[in-house]
Amino acid sequence: MILDSFRLDGRVALVTGGTQGLGQSSAIALAEAGADVVILGRSDPNETGNAIAQLGRRWTAINQDLASASVSDLQETVSQVVKDMGRLDILVNNAGIQRRTPAIDFSEADWDEVLQINLKSVFFLAQAAGRVMMQQGGGKIINIASLLSFQGGITIPAYSAAKHGVAGITQSLSNEWAKHHINVNAIAPGYMDTANTTALRNDPVRYQAILDRIPAGHWGKQDDIQGLVVYLASAASDYMHGVTIPLDGGWMGR
């Protein structure tokens, strides 16, 4: 039955930034589909963890600041997941930050922080997870990209550079790893109602301008990511490789 192929029973997922926002909704969706979940972040994981526990799934948390984590720290994180949970089947590379400053004044510190969290940690976590998945015979890597993987945005040059990079490495990894039964794909959320977009939603002019361009007529909610994340984590998507899928209320079609 086709719906059975969406089940994730017995799988283990690592969700970066699973403490809130799109990562929290993703973590809960994966648990609803049957997966056990490791939540990576800096803040209190209990809200997400309690929701996972109520679903009867196992969860643990890894407190890690991706702004300062070295490549060997990220490898250690993946080893910790395997030690605690026995395996790693799904990586959701979701953690991300935004820094808004006109390009003419954009600082090196902001550039480095955005690229470190939104791109470098995405690649090296995928590399560490890929090594485990190859040994296990396959896996699923879901990178959270953005509409800024396709567009330049306004006052967010580092974010746009990083998210274009996420779409690029999604294809690069896919080209090398599809033959190992590892699916690497990305979700490009549109304008979603999370902490990442607080500044935009607090600017009435930008808020309305964005809203006017969304064919669906409203901003996305954090749970809107759940169906796609479960699909990409499951056997239902086994022949899908290297794509960055907009989830945007129709924005990219305008």
Query: Which chain residues interact with ligand NAP by CB under 6 A?
Result: 17, 19-23, 41-43, 65-67, 94-97, 117, 144, 146, 189, 191-192, 194-197
Contact (Cβ atoms closer than 8 angstroms) between residue 139 and residue 91: yes
In the complex, least distance from residue 119 CB atom to ligand NAP, rounded to whole angstroms: 10
φ, ψ for residue 189 (rounded to 5)? Answer: -65, 150
Nearer to ligand NAP (CB atom), residue 14 or residue 97: 97
Burial of 223 from C-beta contacts in 10 A (0-12 / 13-18 / 19+): middle
114, 111, 192, 88: CA torsion to nearest 10: -20
CA–CA separation, 108 vs 205, rounded Å? 28
Which residue out of 159, 191, 207, 239 is catalytically annotated? 159
Q: Cβ of residue 35: shortest distance to ligand NAP, in angstroms?
A: 18
Is residue 48 a contact partner of residue 223, using CB atoms and an 8 Å limit? no
Of 3 and 115, the one with the shorter C-beta distance to ligand NAP is: 115
DSSP 46-111: HHHHHHHHHTT--EEEEE--TTT--HHHHHHHHHHHHHHHS---EEEE---------GGG--HHHH
Closer residue to ligand NAP, CB minimum distance, 1 or 212: 212
- Nearest CA to 124 out of 95, 97, 87 is that of 95
The residue (of 33 and 66) whose beta carbon lies closer to ligand NAP is: 66
Q: How far is the CB of 213 from ligand NAP (least distance, A)?
A: 14
Q: Are 125 and 71 in contact (CB under 8 A)?
A: no
C-beta of residue 241 within 8 angstroms of C-beta of residue 174:
yes
Q: How far is the CB of 89 from ligand NAP (least distance, A)?
A: 21
**Residue 239: active-site member:** no
Nearer to ligand NAP, 75 or 136 (CB): 75
CB of 26 to ligand NAP, least distance (A): 9
Instruction: Give the separation between CA 186 and CA 168, rounded to whole angstroms.
Output: 10
**Which are the catalytic amino acids?**
159
